[in-house]
Structure 1
Amino acid sequence: MLALLALHLALALLAPAAGARLGRNVFLLVALAPAVSAVWAGAQAAAVLDGRPPVQTTAWVPGLGLSLDLRMDALSLLMVSLVSGIGTLVFLYCARYFPADQAGVGRFAGVLTAFAGAMLGLVLADDLILLYVFWELTSVTSWLLIGFDDEDAESRRAAQQALLVTALGGLTMLVGFVLIAQQAGTASLSAILAEPPTGGTVAVALLLVLVGAFTKSAQVPFHPWLPSAMAAPTPVSAYLHAAAMVKAGIYLVARLAPAFAVIGLWRPVVITVGLATMLVGGWRALRQDDLKRLLAFGTVSQLGFLMVLLGAGTREAALAGAALLLAHGLFKATLFLTVGVIDHSTGSRNLRELSGVGRRMPVLAVAATLAALSMAGVPPLLGFISKEAAYEAFLHGSGPDLVVFAVLFLGSVLTAAYSARFLWGAFVAKPGVAPTEVHTPSPGLLAPVVVLGAAGLLLGLAPQVADPLVQAYADSYGMPPEVEHLALWHGLTAALGWSALTLLLGAALFARREPVLSMQRRAGRVLGLVDAGRSYASTLTLLDRLALRVTVLVQTGSLPVYLGTVLVTVVVLPGSALLLATQITGDLRAWDRPLQAVVAVVITVAAVATARAHRRFTAVLTIGAVGYGIAVLFVLQGGPDLALTQFLIETLTLVLFMFVLRRLPANFTRQSMRTGQGVRLAISLAVGTFVTAAVLVSGQARTAPPASQAYLDQSLPDGGGRNVVNVVLVDFRGFDTLGEITVLVVAAMGIASLVLAGRSRRSPRAEGETSLTAATGQALDEPGTPAPERVG
């Protein structure tokens, strides 16, 4: 399993370079990764179904107890089949979807392969932390895929929205994972599910985990990111938003439900959110004219359906959910790829502009019809079998189950209606609309669509092929006396009657599409007040305004204000704890020898002189006297090596100051000298008092021998030097010193580039042109924006 992940990574890294040579045919190369994964999963299917799941453990960070634990059970096998099987067909589709001269095709192929690997790792992970890592990798790679056309503002906004929503949910989920791992005493997913922890902390943790699942799988109220993501290329929509990424949250709920569905608010929260999502998505799909957005809202609706089934916590619902999980991946990928072919061949996705496309592309029309009928729940397709099983799971229950069934029935009616709307809009000849000009698509573009569409029909005619797999997952809820199997014909049952009624009402709703559309427009004026998409946009606007206000308040452009803020923070936060510290005890010596007091007085006088100096040159000299005075104190205290280092630093600092003074006025401005003198004096006294008290208290609060003694003892034998300070900087803490030097070098390079760039642009400016440097003009000088840096 680890080798499969490595294969995805290797091909993802190779793809950009290979794309430069192979063009769009690079997808044929990177398709090897999901193809090999699908073949491997098929080879392991017998062992998995026999209760012998492949397991692999590799040390990752042993010091932190982290390892790469991978495991493929029945649920993982089902997801790998979707991720890798459909993924292979999507990769082959890409090889004919993109133009031969498409820019950045290698980069796109690399990111898509990386996403496939991240999704594969997610469904195989047997450790909560590892699962989270792959979870976030899918968020980042999907952000890159959605924003592939980085010059399009809509694509950038959609990518940002998807990343913000899913990353926020991921961080919330991580907190839940940590709490669960603490309560269970392990982060192993299989161990946690075998002996699930209980208690109030676990109930709260599960709610946090559900937030992550809801954001990833576009549940209400987090669903607007999914329709917005239709700005991505169609293969991305077919893969991420039908077969892979949006299934991650569904997978997580399905993974945890057998162990945790009975704890806390799991069932009411999952079922309520799922039902609301199913209705909202179906209702919104009925008024979409863009075929991709219609499918996007249809996907939202179906994800809500899946959330209810796989989160309900019963074996019957889990069986139906696993079957629908497979069916949805097949029919929704088919339909998204169909839209890509139509857009590629006609140049339009607007269902009111398309007319007679089915006559010009009959093979595509047949494949899409099979997929749409499966989505609507028409026999003999796999979608019908899964929907009938879903009805059966709730139809014979108590009052709450009947309420769930009623909402599922209503949502399924909406599904049948927007399925009909898709077929009518994409393929039917419309009165008053000119026949659409169609460019015949290549066989390579049609083949994946036909394969996926046919798969839904074949599995519907032979459900016994998929039945062992979904049964194996359902068995995680225990074995009932009578096992319900997937079958095309169960006899004349109530579920069959409700399925037929669903199709009839869906057809009637589609037939009355114009009155329904008018009703939706009127209702939209009221429902728009609670529209989640508008709420997201309003929240971003509010955050932008708040950030601007905070920036204007904090970024005043005054360096003394910045320094004062830092110093006040240093005094207030640790100072509060210092007030509660143990009182200073023991003997306090003012000095060891009188000469120390003389040097201290000289340092104090020099510091006061620095604060009162009017000339910059004078201030530099007096502050240098402070530094040299401290070096003298080190000598008197018996630290010549430390004193030598201090002398060198002070000398270098003085030299640098002299270079800087050449570019500054000789005197400080009177305004900078007078502004806030009382505040500055108060801050200075507070800092001095705090530092003095902190030194005195810390000296009496030791709980262990000082680390300095070890440096003194080991400096000569280990470092080969008698200057302890130098040995510490160069040997004991050599990497720290190297890091600090690196930071200084990078900063120097940045400053030098700015200076050189400024010199190269020194030329007479056009009238009204504004300088962007603090030295010669105002930056960001519009009203209400932060001011430029100033020193006073």
Structure 2
Amino acid sequence: MCHRRGRRPPATPPPHDRDHPRRRAALIATLSLHLAIGIGILLAAPVLRRWAAPLAAVPSLASLAFALTIAPDVLDGEPWTATFTWVPGLDLSVDLFVDGLGLVMILLVSGIGLAIAAYSGSYFAPNATAARTAGLLVLFAGAMLGLVTAEHVVILYLFWELTSILSWLLIGQRHTDPAARAAATHALVLTGSGGLALLGGLVILAREAGTWSVVELLTDPPGGTAAGVGLGLVVLGIVTKSAQYPFHAWLPGAMVAPTPVSAYLHSATMVKAGIYLALRLAPAFVHLDAWQPVVLTIGLLTMVAGGLRAIRQDDLKLLLAFGTVSQLGFLFVLSGSGFEYATIAGVTLLIAHALFKATLFLVVGIVDHQAHTRDRHELLDLRLGTGWGPVRVCAVLTAASMAGVPLMAGFIAKEEAYAAFVYEGGAVGVIGLVGIVTGSVLTMAYSLRFAAVFWRQSDRDDADVTPPSWTFGAPVYVLTALTIAIGLVPAPIIGDLVDVASGDLLGREVAGELALWHGINTALVLSVLTIAAGVLLWRLTDPFVRLTGRAAPPIDGYRAFQIGLEGLFTLARVTTTRIQTGSLPRYIAIILMVVVGGPALVAVATTSLPDLADPLDVPVQLALAGLIAGAALATIFVPRRLGAVVVLGGVGYGMAGLFVAQGAPDLALTQFAIETLTIVAFVLVLRQLPARFSRSDDRAGQLRRMGAAAVVGVGAFVLVLAVSGTDPTTPASDLAVTQAVPEAEGRNIVNVILVDFRGLDTLGEIAVLLVAAVGVTTLARVGRRPPRTGVPPLPEIDPLDPATIDKDART
């Protein structure tokens, strides 16, 4: 709840053009440390074993120290920036910056990452698999830090895709498990497809804005139809990454990963990437008519749908997974609404959610590690007695924060959200308020369902479970303490951070007043009603689940993904069957007609062809042209392959003769050498094939081949005419003529170009020719394999089955 007094007048947006060598070095060192240690752990995983977790904590500790060091400057309105010029001619550079929101994200990524590293040392057995997980987590943290500090559009996208790839590796690292492979594929396909949409959208927006700078693009956002299309593609990328409905099913499926991975990906990193980008974009594009309706519809639908699924779960990890989907919908509504109070509420909830969701996942991991179950019914039959008290208290308190109970950080964020939509008013305020209140009632109910496991215990003497060590529970205790501290005194801890982050996003100063108590007002009344309704719904969970179960869709998100992927495979198979017939001549004909015939048509339509009134310079050219044409025609009628190659070589040698007639013996010598080499390569390959061509009696096929040859031949002729008719102001060949002697000490300009000026190109062409020759020879030697009759079906594995989730975390 916000009560704002003495609000400062709007200020000029903080400058983003300050660069300093010390800042540049600090930023690049922070990112490089993650890269170096992450790769080092992966390479040395079999050796490191138990030392991998402590080593993985070093980058997070360093980036946390970096964030705390720069915090005074950032909070004073002076973002840290760094620019590393890459290709000046193409305006490519690595631009990084840290403003208020960037500082929030660095603190969350580093702080939660440090807690996960400390926790992993007790959770995993000291083996190579655990070490590889630690290395991947370090790289993932580095990718997230790069994403939230990227100021160049292309760099932002590169780090965005890195998070998708690394999450795929983390989710599917148990590659022998079909469930892990299916879940990882699901996550990669959805987030990867969204990433492609994001790339297209960012490129369109950048081109329309005339800049690749994120800050400049958002300061002066583009308009028009093209920009609207680009923005739509960007939103598609955001909703897939942040698990918004209907692209939410990958997140619960990702629970097959070990609990530390789930805690990190779903609290402070992977899913927050989309929310981060929504916070960046909303103030710049909220003026568009479609922006708020789209954000409210998707976010509220996700919040309610996730809550309805969460309240049905008996597996605590799945309960938290669907609860995360619901909370991400809540975050998307706040971060995407674009007005001031919602932005402040969104940043506050961003912090609170990272703390309580990471803690709850870690609690579930401790219980599963010690009791070997996460099923709430089985846990109610156990007794978490002596030694479990701190963990049980932390579980109940952080569940209360998730529910938005007073004295917790979650309550501060929820009050801010309620106050924001009450203040906004209008249709947006009413719809948003009704939606988030409904979602918050569901949140209260599934939070109580989770917490009940820890305050209700069995009285059986044989039901005791071994308590965790203090080192195992330490991260949970620290995160819970932060959650409580923010709930009690939010302003001294995060007040300035939230104000600066919100002000940087909005481009003006804001003066939000975070506090536990602001008196009795509409937001407080709504909070009380939410808690009461949530308790009632929890008490009526069983009939409510039965009622909503009848209205549930017959196909869940994962099954819809399976059906879609199988349909895509079917379409690919049908398309391949029709297009890829296995006929190499047909492939070559189509490729050449498109590559040569298409540009030729464009040249005829747009270029004036030169006059051919006097095409011959010397009479011998006519004889050589006849030799070339005759050799080409003779190739068609020669029945033997080797004979056809020899006759075809006559075409090349005839061209060399034309070069001699034109007074270019050096070019003719090169042509002779290339033609000879080509004939030798043909002979080496064709000697493995039947001596004679297989003649087809299909007259239609022969006519098609003749037509294709005519199109390609005439097209090449037209292109040569069009190029010869151009008159560039400064021909590129002038450089070779003037620099051949002084730079390369050679008078044979063609050879100088091939060997000196374009030496690497020539080497590449030779390598391609050799690889092609070896490949064709190999194909000619091997026998034909039987054709494939279909695509293997996807495994019938449900990654949401509790039996498949993190089943070997303790090995």
- Give TM-score scaled by structure 2 length: 0.88
Correspondence for 1:517: 545
- 1:52 maps onto 2:78 in alignment: yes
One-letter amino acid of the counterpart of residue 563, structure 1: I
**Shift of residue 751 of structure 1?**
6.9
Q: Say if 1:538 and 1:469 are closer, same or farther in 2 by CA, change over 3 A.
A: same
Answer whether contact 1:24 1:94 (CA < 8 A) is retained. no
Correspondence for 2:635: 610
| 1:633-668 superposed Cα distances (whole Å, 9 cap, x missing partner) | 222222211221222223233333333343222222
Answer whether contact 1:429 1:435 (CA < 8 A) is retained. no
Q: Say if 1:435 and 1:137 are closer, same or farther in 2 by CA, change over 3 A.
A: farther
Q: Which secondary structure state, in structure 1, belongs to the residue aligned with residue 377 of structure 2?
A: coil
Answer whether contact 1:359 1:427 (CA < 8 A) is retained. no
- 1:780 maps onto 2:807 in alignment: no
Correspondence for 1:463: 490
- 1:13 maps onto 2:39 in alignment: yes
Correspondence for 1:447: 474
Correspondence for 1:600: 625
Structural RMSD (CA): 2.8
One-letter amino acid of the counterpart of residue 514, structure 1: D
Correspondence for 1:423: 451
What is the distance in 2 between the residues matched to 1:751 and 1:21?
A: 44
Answer whether contact 2:74 2:100 (CA < 8 A) is retained. yes
- 1:506 maps onto 2:534 in alignment: yes
What is the distance in 1 between the residues matched to 2:31 and 2:791?
A: 51
Correspondence for 2:282: 257
- 1:119 maps onto 2:144 in alignment: yes
**Shift of residue 567 of structure 1?**
2.7
Correspondence for 2:726: 701
Correspondence for 1:490: 518
Correspondence for 1:767: none
Q: Which secondary structure state, in structure 1, belongs to the residue aligned with residue 270 of structure 2?
A: coil
What is the distance in 2 between the residues matched to 1:66 and 1:710?
A: 27
One-letter amino acid of the counterpart of residue 36, structure 2: A
Q: Say if 1:750 and 1:362 are closer, same or farther in 2 by CA, change over 3 A.
A: farther
One-letter amino acid of the counterpart of residue 782, structure 1: T
**Shift of residue 559 of structure 1?**
1.6
| 1:53-95 superposed Cα distances (whole Å, 9 cap, x missing partner) | 3333332332222333332222222111111111111111112
| 1:695-741 superposed Cα distances (whole Å, 9 cap, x missing partner) | 22332233335434543443333322233322111101011122223
- 1:341 maps onto 2:360 in alignment: no
What is the distance in 1 between the residues matched to 2:335 and 2:462?
A: 44
One-letter amino acid of the counterpart of residue 443, structure 1: W
Mean Cα displacement is larger for which, 708-717 or 457-466? 708-717
Counterpart selection for 1:539 from 564, 568, 578: 564
Counterpart selection for 1:682 from 693, 707, 723: 707
One-letter amino acid of the counterpart of residue 397, structure 2: L
What is the distance in 2 between the residues matched to 1:587 and 1:568?
A: 25
One-letter amino acid of the counterpart of residue 569, structure 2: D
Q: Say if 1:383 and 1:636 are closer, same or farther in 2 by CA, change over 3 A.
A: same
Answer whether contact 1:357 1:427 (CA < 8 A) is retained. no
Correspondence for 2:764: 739
- 1:411 maps onto 2:418 in alignment: no
One-letter amino acid of the counterpart of residue 441, structure 1: P
What is the distance in 1 between the residues matched to 2:584 and 2:206?
A: 46
- 1:293 maps onto 2:332 in alignment: no
Counterpart selection for 2:94 from 56, 65, 68: 68
- 1:386 maps onto 2:413 in alignment: yes
**Shift of residue 424 of structure 1?**
3.1
Answer whether contact 1:260 1:266 (CA < 8 A) is retained. yes
| 1:413-460 superposed Cα distances (whole Å, 9 cap, x missing partner) | 1001111122235674479x9976734433322111121122211221
What is the distance in 1 between the residues matched to 2:570 and 2:516?
A: 57
Answer whether contact 2:311 2:445 (CA < 8 A) is retained. yes
Q: Say if 1:669 and 1:69 are closer, same or farther in 2 by CA, change over 3 A.
A: closer
Answer whether contact 1:354 1:435 (CA < 8 A) is retained. no
Q: Among the aligned pairs, what percent are the same residue?
A: 47
**Shift of residue 609 of structure 1?**
1.7
What is the distance in 1 between the residues matched to 2:771 and 2:640?
A: 32
**Shift of residue 247 of structure 1?**
0.9
One-letter amino acid of the counterpart of residue 4, structure 1: T
Equivalences for residues 193-272 of structure 1 within 5 A: 193-198=218-223, 201-272=226-297
**Shift of residue 287 of structure 1?**
1.4
**Shift of residue 553 of structure 1?**
1.5
Correspondence for 1:768: none
One-letter amino acid of the counterpart of residue 46, structure 2: A
Counterpart selection for 1:643 from 657, 664, 668: 668
What is the distance in 1 between the residues matched to 2:692 and 2:251?
A: 61
Correspondence for 1:658: 683
Correspondence for 1:472: 500
Mean Cα displacement is larger for which, 257-266 or 546-555? 257-266
Counterpart selection for 2:602 from 567, 577, 583: 577
Answer whether contact 1:147 1:156 (CA < 8 A) is retained. yes
One-letter amino acid of the counterpart of residue 277, structure 1: T
Q: Which secondary structure state, in structure 2, belongs to the residue aligned with residue 174 of structure 1?
A: helix
- 1:402 maps onto 2:430 in alignment: yes
What is the distance in 1 between the residues matched to 2:669 and 2:596?
A: 31
- Give TM-score scaled by structure 1 length: 0.90
Q: Which runs of 5+ in 1 are unaligned?
A: 756-772, 786-792
Q: Which secondary structure state, in structure 1, belongs to the residue aligned with residue 96 of structure 2?
A: strand
Answer whether contact 2:600 2:718 (CA < 8 A) is retained. no
**Shift of residue 774 of structure 1?**
8.3
Counterpart selection for 1:366 from 384, 388, 393: 393
